[in-house]
């Protein structure tokens, strides 16, 4: 590391923060290759079913649960960044593309306790929630997606490339590429016009 870069780290993080960052960087290299930086603590279940790409980065308190039986239940593309306390849970498949930025306290899940729609037998409210059948539908998040703080991405959702999910949004339906959605349930507020090079 160059002297200039070391001075920059000391200025930005202080001595204690810089030492802690160095330890986390070394642990990442030893335990999480090819990730860029894993900030601890991190909580992982089903690690063998999780695949991360080059440059994968996390904040603190990230929770990744791959609870099914298949391989590659959670797949991260290259240069994905998860900020603090992101929770991703999969029993079937969650695919996250390249260059995705996910803010803090985001929840992404491909499954639900019980069936409440569709043709399958519906779950009874008399049954204990944790005893209800787990119902899964894959989640796909495209490239260059930005997901704001406290958003939730629910089962069966596909988010197109370049989309933006506003803070606090609950995404229950597919989101087209180059679209901004906000709210609960999330709705479209803007779409990028490539001819005018602006959001309309």
Could you tell me which residues are beta bridge partners of residue 43? 63
Active site residue 143: no
Contacts of 105 (CB under 8 A, 6+ apart): 84, 85, 86, 149, 150
| Catalytic one of 111, 113, 122, 143 | 113
129 DSSP assignment: G
Alpha helices per DSSP H over the chain: 3-31
Token pair for residue 7? 């001075």
CA–CA separation, 52 and 57 (whole Å):
9
> How far apart (Å, rounded) are the C-alpha atoms in residues 123 and 63?
28
User: Strand (E) positions, 40-178?
Assistant: 42-45, 50-51, 57-58, 62-66, 74-76, 81-82, 87-90, 94-96, 101-102, 107-109, 111-113, 134-136, 139-141, 146-147, 152-153, 158-159, 164-165, 170-171
Please list the active-site residues: 113
């Amino acid at each position: 590391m160059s002297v200039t870069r070391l001075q920059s780290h000391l200025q930005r993080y202080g001595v204690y923060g810089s030492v802690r960052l160095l330890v986390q960087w070394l642990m990442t290299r030893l335990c999480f290759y090819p990730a860029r930086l894993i900030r601890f603590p991190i909580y992982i279940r089903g690690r063998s079913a999780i695949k991360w790409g080059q440059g994968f980065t996390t904040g603190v308190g990230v929770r990744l649960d791959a609870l099914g039986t298949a391989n590659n239940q959670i797949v991260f593309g290259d240069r994905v960044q998860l900020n603090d306390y992101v929770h991703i849970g999969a029993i079937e498949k969650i695919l996250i593309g390249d260059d995705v930025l996910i803010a803090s306290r985001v929840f992404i899940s491909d499954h639900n306790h019980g069936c409440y729609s569709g043709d399958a037998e519906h779950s009874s409210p008399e049954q204990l929630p944790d005893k209800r059948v787990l119902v899964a539908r894959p989640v796909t998040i495209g490239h260059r997606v930005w997901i704001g703080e406290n958003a939730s991405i629910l089962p069966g959702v596909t988010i197109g490339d370049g989309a933006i999910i506003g803070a606090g949004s609950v995404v229950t339906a597919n989101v087209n590429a180059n679209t901004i959605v906000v709210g609960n349930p999330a709705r479209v507020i803007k779409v990028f016009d490539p001819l005018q090079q602006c959001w309309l």
